[in-house]
């Protein structure tokens, strides 16, 4: 019995370790036996783990902001938002956003690296410059929260957006660092107009993440408000389509461009007052949803949450018990 109690205490301590990791807008990838997590932060925050439970903080991606970024946003101080990490063409692609909070003075950039292992002689982030930019008064969309997705035809897409006219999708060239021409902007999701909220009269929606399962492309989005501590009410919704470009509809057949979206996870007031800005991955044959939760027991501080994701008999994602 003594050893069982020791084991249970050890297991419980491990199971809560991830939830003590401060994280905002987490994304994850595995190289060899190591998981790497990238988050919003000064120069992009990086963590590593061999078990997705115990995490080690690494050096940020950027010690200094890229020169192009300072030219486009002279007031930028290094706090870089909403990274997205993936592996293609023999290297890692890290998309990131910079913006003025509450404005669509925003840019999405991309950096590449041959490896994520800091101890490797090949470890070196190469910034590839600006990919997408939004300008107030010109664009009814916001160039933040990027997500790279490569469909079944090997066509590369960048999903992005926050508030304003909603979420967008644009095709990339095969180099994954430039837009395909002619440029064509697809609408993914928007919420019904609520004039009391910022962003040109549109409701709060952001952080698109695309994931293919079976015959469907699933669009995960975050709605309502983040970044307000205990007053946050962030949550994750989903819709699906048989085409990467949409249209995406929810369980009730409501198009996501008309305010649709089926609930995946929300705050429970006991553990997390709100949750959101998710990503979805398959690790070792299981699907996982990764997001940050505002800790109800720690003044609403954002922390890492990892949950197994399962699919019901009608093909919709649900949190595993």
Residue 311 structure tokens? 């699919």
Stronger pLDDT, 140 or 25, i.e. the higher one: 25
Q: Round to whole Å and give the CA distance between 141 and 107.
A: 11
Q: Give a yes or no: residue 30 inside a domain.
A: yes
pLDDT value at residue 217: 98
Q: What is the CATH number of the domain that holds 55?
A: 2.115.10.20
Q: Across residues 120-136, what is the average pLDDT?
A: 96
Least confident of 68-72, 79-83, 309-313: 68-72
User: Total structural domains in the chain?
Assistant: 1
Cis amide leading into 35 (omega within 30) = no
**268 is a catalytic site residue:** no
Q: Give a yes or no: residue 75 inside a domain.
A: yes
Q: Round to whole Å and give the CA distance between 289 and 281.
A: 7
Q: Give a yes or no: residue 184 inside a domain.
A: yes
Sequence-separated (6 or more) residues with CB below 8 Å from residue 321: none
Report whether 142 contacts 133 (CB < 8 A): no
Q: Give a yes or no: residue 4 inside a domain.
A: no
Element counts in the chain: helices (H) and strands (E): 2, 21
pLDDT of 8 > 80? The answer is no
Least confident of 182-191, 195-204, 267-276, 307-316: 195-204
Length of the chain in terms of residues written = 321
From the list 25, 224, 250, 295, the catalytic residue is 25
Q: Round to whole Å and give the CA distance between 159 and 25.
A: 15
**284 is a catalytic site residue:** no
Report whether 97 contacts 107 (CB < 8 A): yes
Digit-coded pLDDT (tens) for 18-48 = 557 999 999 999 999 999 999 999 999 999 9
Whether pTM > 0.85 for this model: the answer is yes
* pLDDT interval class at 197 (50, 70, 90): very low
From the list 84, 127, 206, 295, the catalytic residue is 206
Q: Give a yes or no: residue 193 inside a domain.
A: yes
Query: Which residue range is the domain that position 49 belongs to?
Result: 23-319
Q: Where are the beta strands (DSSP E) in 53-105?
A: 56-58, 79-88, 91-99
Digit-coded pLDDT (tens) for 288-319 = 999 999 999 999 999 999 999 999 999 999 99
pLDDT value at residue 9: 38
Q: Give a yes or no: residue 9 inside a domain.
A: no
pLDDT value at residue 193: 52
Q: Give a yes or no: residue 73 inside a domain.
A: yes
Q: Give a yes or no: residue 268 inside a domain.
A: yes
């Amino acid at each position: 019995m003594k050893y069982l109690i020791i084991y249970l205490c050890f297991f419980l301590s491990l199971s809560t370790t991830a939830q003590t990791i401060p994280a905002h807008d987490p994304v994850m990838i595995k190289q060899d036996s190591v998981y790497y997590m990238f988050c919003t932060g000064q120069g992009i925050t990086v963590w590593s783990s061999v078990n997705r439970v115990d995490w080690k903080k690494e050096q940020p991606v950027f010690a200094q902001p890229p020169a192009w970024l300072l030219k486009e946003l002279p007031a930028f101080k290094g706090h870089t938002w909403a990274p997205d990490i993936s592996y293609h063409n023999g290297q890692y692609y890290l998309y990131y956003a910079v913006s003025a909070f509450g404005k669509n003075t925003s840019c999405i950039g991309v950096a590449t690296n041959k490896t994520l292992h800091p101890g490797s002689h090949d470890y070196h982030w190469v910034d590839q410059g600006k990919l997408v930019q939004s300008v107030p008064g010109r664009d009814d969309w916001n160039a933040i929260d990027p997500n790279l997705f490569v469909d079944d035809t090997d066509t590369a897409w960048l999903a992005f957006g926050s508030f304003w006219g909603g979420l967008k999708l644009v095709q990339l060239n095969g180099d994954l660092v430039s837009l395909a021409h002619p440029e064509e902007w697809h609408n993914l999701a928007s919420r019904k107009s609520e004039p009391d909220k910022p962003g040109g009269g549109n409701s709060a929606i952001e952080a698109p993440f695309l994931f293919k399962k079976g015959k469907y492309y699933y669009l995960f989005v975050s709605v309502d408000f983040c970044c307000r501590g205990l007053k946050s009410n962030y949550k994750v919704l989903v819709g699906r389509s048989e085409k990467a470009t949409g249209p995406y509809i929810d369980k009730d057949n409501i198009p996501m461009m008309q305010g649709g979206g089926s609930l995946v996870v929300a705050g429970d007031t006991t553990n997390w007052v709100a949750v959101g800005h998710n990503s979805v991955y398959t690790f070792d044959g299981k699907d996982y949803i990764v997001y940050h939760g505002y800790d109800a027991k720690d003044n609403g501080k954002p922390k890492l949450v990892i949950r197994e994701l399962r699919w019901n008999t009608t093909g919709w994602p649900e949190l595993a018990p």
